[in-house]
Structure 1
């Protein structure tokens, strides 16, 4: 029964993750601010919230019963490894995905009222991702998986920088727009990383822990974030000169 539930979560996770991975590119490379951008942005956000939630559920089942949820890996890995990679690290990435999708959505929704971003849920998600990241790093240290420590840095940095922005007393238009871009592209990085890294365990197990499987989505995502943030800065310059 538990294995059937786990497999059901995998199917749901793949379906919502694939939807998000496809929807991601429409607002990223398309015309900004229009009805199409908003429609596909909503689809992406909802898909990421669902994908992250399924990942959290899968991670909790793995922590409770690593061999029962991953019987095909029992001959190659011990319980500590399965709990670490598919329990603690997936818990971290799941919370990170939910965090980024919700934070990025609120940044654009509350662009005219920055204080409205400081909801109990949004603030709690920042502390949750930091806590999950620290737990992931600690477990990575215990089982000797440096990859877990490296990915945890992303969670800590996300939570701290988001908290800094949320408590910022005054923001300009380009500030919330940059946060929106950072968060939602970050969520896109998360889903593509999951497909390439966690998915490779089932298809190419020998490549699952290879740095390239984790670095490619990160490099592409960071390039997109930098590109769009620079575009926001270019658009902001004429407005600043007009005000001056």
Structure 2
């Protein structure tokens, strides 16, 4: 079994775990022990999904000569999904970590950098989609543009009240 296949199976297992764990915090007491523990399992599973998708996308684009243009285009989609998954999981953790913040984050912070990475990967993926006439890549990354914009707005806008920051993120 190749390392690619091992990572593919790990990717599938982590994705299934994240999908399963996603629902549990929705029906448990917010902030309770089960909610927090399952939430961290979800975050770790999404981290594995993002890391393996990133590796598989890079591998298929740069190191797998047997792939045709459509398969390489789909590999760009994997890369975009990796950035999207990592960015949203990261942002969720960081919002909780800084829920009592009183000022905006620096434009050069890791938080804004990850949001910019999501926006950049969205635009790059859309361009590749248009160049290769691949509709999934042309339109799906619009989601990343909206999420990246919402994340940047959250980090670069100082909260006026305790709940403003959270509500700003949900509104976009």
- TM normalised by structure 1 equals 0.63
Partner of 1:9: 7
Aligned counterpart, 1:126: 115
Contact 1:17 1:51 survives alignment (8 Å): yes
Structure 1 residue ranges without an equivalent (≥5): 71-78, 183-225, 227-244
Residue 172 of structure 1: how far off its partner (Å): 3.0
Partner of 1:194: none
2:147 alignment partner in structure 1: 158
Q: Aligned-pair distance for 1:135?
A: 1.2
Give 1:50 deviation, angstroms: 1.6
Is 1:103 the counterpart of 2:101? The answer is no
Deviations 1:109-166 (A, max 9, x none): 2111255865732221111111111111111111211221211101111111110110
Counterpart of 1:88?
A: 76
**2: CA distance between counterparts of 1:150 and 1:114?**
36
The CA deviation at 1:174 is 3.0
CA drift at 1:33: 2.0
Structure 2 residue aligned with 1:33: 31
TM-score (norm 2): 0.87
- Matched residues, number: 170
| Residues 136 and 148 in structure 1, CA contact (< 8 A), matched pair in contact too | yes
Write the deviation string for residues 28-62 of structure 1: whole angstroms up to 9, x where unpaired: 23221212111111111111112111111110001
**Inter-CA distance 61–26: structure 2 relative to 1 (3 Å threshold):** same
Question: Structure 1 37/171 Cα, relative in aligned 2: closer, same or farther at 3 Å?
Answer: farther
Q: Is the 8 A contact 1:136 1:149 kept in 2?
A: yes
* Gap regions ≥5 residues in structure 2: none
Which structure features the higher share of helix residues? Answer: 1
Match of 2:101 in 1: 113
Query: What is the CA RMSD across the aligned residues, in angstroms?
Result: 2.3
**1:96 and 1:128, CA in 2 relative to 1: closer, same or farther beyond 3 A?**
same
Q: For the residues of structure 2 that align with 1:108 and 1:33, how far apart are their CA atoms?
A: 11
* SS state at 2:100 partner: coil
C-alpha displacement at 1:177, in angstroms?
Answer: 3.9
